[in-house]
Structure 1
Amino acid sequence: MEHIISVAELADVPDGTAILDVRYRMGGPPGAEEYAKGHIPGARYVDLDAELAGPPGAGGRHPLPRPEDLTAALRRAGVGRDRDVVVYDDWNGWGPARAWWLLRWAGHRRVRVLDGGLAAWKAAGLPLSTEEPAPGGGDFTAAPGGMPELDADQAAGLARRGVLLDARAGERYRGETEPIDRTPGHIPGAVNAPTTANVGPDGRFLPAGDLAARFAALGAHPAAEVGVYCGSGVSGAHEILALAVAGIPAALYVGSWSAWSADPTRPVATGPNPG
């Protein structure tokens, strides 16, 4: 199944498709209020911080939720075992990408991200709704293990023997600034590949061939061992999605820099990309 869906395709999806509104802005308030002002008809709001992540702690700012908690959240959102799922937002696609990755990690294979998000939907002149569907109706049960993941030691090892991509902005990777986490810098051996370069000005993903060329220039290709991290496992999921569009499998270090930098025993590198 394709990983992204166009507005035209979403406008023609069969009844029964679960549409999830995953509005999320890093450091901003939950998107529930914006959802209430207008959303794609039939969509249900899912809170990334509260439902698509566990409580912050040693595992980072957005650790994996407990499977039973994820199951309950997805059932409230109407996600079924055999129902297609489409996820979207109104910002940069990070929230939907996290939902896409998490659903696939939990064993759901029929999930796609709306390319261009709510902006593309509005640009096509399609309607919004303020009606909130009643919660429930889902029968999906989370069964972890559907997507590869890394812990800190595995991420460190992959940076030495394969390709570990850092999806954060260049200034955070280089250690010039760190607005959120304890220590600036990056995992030694990681290569910077900002998530923002995966999309064009309209927020849509670059063509698969362009993405493949971008990642190949960084050493990531289908035959390579590839991992990704970011600040807390959200924008990194967007990078995993872009890699999937390009046909490159990759593992996600969910704890990412928020977990790595919180451990004073972990080494920290600064400066530009190697080479």
Structure 2
Amino acid sequence: MDMGLKGKVAVITGGSVGIGLAVADGLAAEGANVILAARGRERAEAEAERIAGAHGVKAIGVEADVSTTDGVDAVIRAAEERFGGTDILINNAGTGSNETVMDAPDDKWQAYWDLHVMAAVRLARGVIPQMRRRGGGVILHNASICAVQPLWYEPIYNVTKSALMMFSKCLATEVVGDNIRVNCINPGLILTPDWKKTARQLTENSGGDWEGYLQGVADEHAPIKRFGTPEELANFFVFLCSDKATYSIGSTYFVDGGMQKGL
């Protein structure tokens, strides 16, 4: 199936590892040129080089902390200077938290707000003028099932991802007339390095069986009884970016192995 993505320019934040990297690979496999934005220059550039060689597209790595205005500006500038603008923006950068409401200091709340919400706001303001010039575009927000069905140990993550989901809805309404489609994806249990890190933290004082902990999480929460792979999730991102999803606007989609219990 031709997804209509050949020659498109896609910016993926958090693009050098996990879900972001899988999405970059998936888009590149369909012929899209990709910009991998990440805090680590060496990894981003190495993965970009690998993707370019594997898929025959143009790919660059950009060192950028998108929780800062300087980092966002670096990504927007790279898209303009290297490709003449952006067709697709994947707001994926993020990480789990691990705290309680009573113990978490203000600066931790602010740091996650900047990473999960303001990064998406600032990037949208930067790339939407580029998309308008190019005739339209796609913006996807990688939120989380925790936006609506929170996990007890990461209230900051839960709250900021919920805010990201609402921002996605608001932005979709604002730019639909510019032929820019905005949607949100709420993944369930996806086996990323972040999940492995969290599992190690939670089991370090109880024997360290982090793999057993993750299986227990899957058994408890996901009817499918396993974590999804980043590649399984990336397939859905690629579809929503494609010209096969042109009537999908302002929605939130759960890709969660049945984890979401509500309507």
* TM-score under structure 1 length normalisation: 0.24
Q: Which structure has greater helix proportion? A: 2
Q: Which structure would you say has the larger RCO, counting Cα contacts within 8 Å and 6 or more residues apart?
A: 1
